[in-house]
Structure formats: structure tokens, C-alpha cells
Chains A and B, each alone.
Chain A
Amino acid sequence: QSALTQPASVSGSPGQSVTISCAGASNNIGTYSLVSWYQQYPGKAPKLIIFGSNQRPSGVSTRFSGSKSGNTASLTISGLQSEDEADYYCCSYAERSTFVFGGGTKVTVL
């Protein structure tokens, strides 16, 4: 069960948009649109920010959006703010009732 592939880091200036990719395979992202995204601050537990096709839990900013194309899912943060500086993880269903996480991406606000 291989981890999903994310870039180690992305950065952007306040107000810009950044996109984090999450590359999977045909037996996870490619077949199942069951992807979720999590935000994690240092020393804190992860927090769900996107699930499914592009759904946000109550209270999550509309600046976060998700998409999928083929075997790759993406998270876009629009109007980047200093509070968005954190680690972000994707997760996908991966057949036979298993789940796999990406390696994580550190977002830096310049």
C-alpha cells in the first residue's frame, strides 16, 4: 500500500492562490472519489477541511477547495493568509476498505 505523493512544500504570498497536488493510482484516487484533506498546525491534531468531490465541513473557509483529475487530487487555497501556514495531508480510500495518506505538504506564506 503506497502512500499518495504530495510535494514536500509550496509557498505563496498573501492574497495569492496555491495548489497542492496529491498523486495516487488507479486503485485509489483514480477509481474512488473518496478523497479528504486535512490541515495540521505544529503540535496539534489534524483537522478535516475538504471531503468528497469538494465539500467543506461547517466552519471551514470557502478559500479551500478540492478537485480531482484522473489519479490526482488537488487542494487549492485561494487568497492565501498567514493563518494558512500549516501542513496539509490528503487521504484516499484504497480498495478493500483500506485508506492511505499522502506524505504531507508544508505551506509557507511568504
Chain B
Amino acid sequence: QVHLQESGPGLVKPSETLSLTCNVSRGFINRNSHYGGWIRQPPGKGLEWIGSISFTGSPYHNPSLRSRVTLLVDESKNQFSLKLTSVTAADTGFYYCARHSGEPGMAPYFFDSWGQGALVTVSS
């Protein structure tokens, strides 16, 4: 069963903004226990954490991407979203949203459910 699903354009022009939304199955995320996370993976390469957002709206960013990343949450729509500005070819890759979870009483630190991934290509 797919609990998280990424959606957004698969092609973005250089210097423009990449926008993705993660649609979450109703009831799959508890606002008091989970964050929404974004992880990306260039083709043939490793994983990179982009950032996570609590469902109270507090965002946490990879320092190397902080200046270009905006994370938002819309609880009414069971969604959280990613915007990455000023993209270049280096931003091409698979973008995954994930449920960011933790043990009881602890802040989230592992990603226990992932979307299928969205391939975003940066090209003119």
C-alpha cells in the first residue's frame, strides 16, 4: 500500500524553481510523532537528506541547501511540499518524500516509509 506519493513536474529549466508535493494517506502521519522528510538521489549516486518539516511547521534543512530550500506543510490537504530554487543540472535526480519517525518520546531520526520517488530532470 502506498502511503506517500510525490507529485510535480518532471522537467525543470536551469535557474528555475523545482516544486514537489508529497500526498500522504489520511491518518498515516501523526502530527505529534512524525515529520515529513525529503531525500534526493542523483542517478547512479547516493542519498542526500534535503530537509524535514514538523507538522507544527518547524523546518530543518541540510546546511548545504538551506539557502535554496523551502519546506511547507498543509495538514488540511494531508500534504507537505518542497521548493528548490535556482536549480542546475546538479539538482537532477530522484526526489523521495518519507515519513520521518522516532522512538516514543524521541524526536524523529529515521525514515520508516518512503514514496516511490519522482525523477526530476533539470534541462533547457
- Count of B residues near A, CB < 8 Å? 23
Write the chain B residue with the least CB distance to A34. Answer: B109
Does the CB pair B111–A91 fall under 8 Å? yes
Does B28 make an interface contact (CB < 8 A)?
A: no
A-B contact count (CB 8 A): 62
Chain A binding site: helix, strand, loop or mixed by DSSP? strand
Q: Closest CB-CB distance, B89 to chain A, in whole Å?
A: 20
Which residues of B in the span 55-114 have a Cβ within 8 Å of any Cβ on A? 60-64, 96, 103, 107, 109-114
Does the CB pair B49–A100 fall under 8 Å? yes
Residues of A with C-beta under 8 A to B63:
1, 98
Range for the number of chain A residues in contact with chain B: 20 to 34
Does B11 make an interface contact (CB < 8 A)?
A: no
Top 5 A-B pairs, shortest CB-CB distance? A36-B110, A51-B110, A45-B114, A34-B109, A97-B60
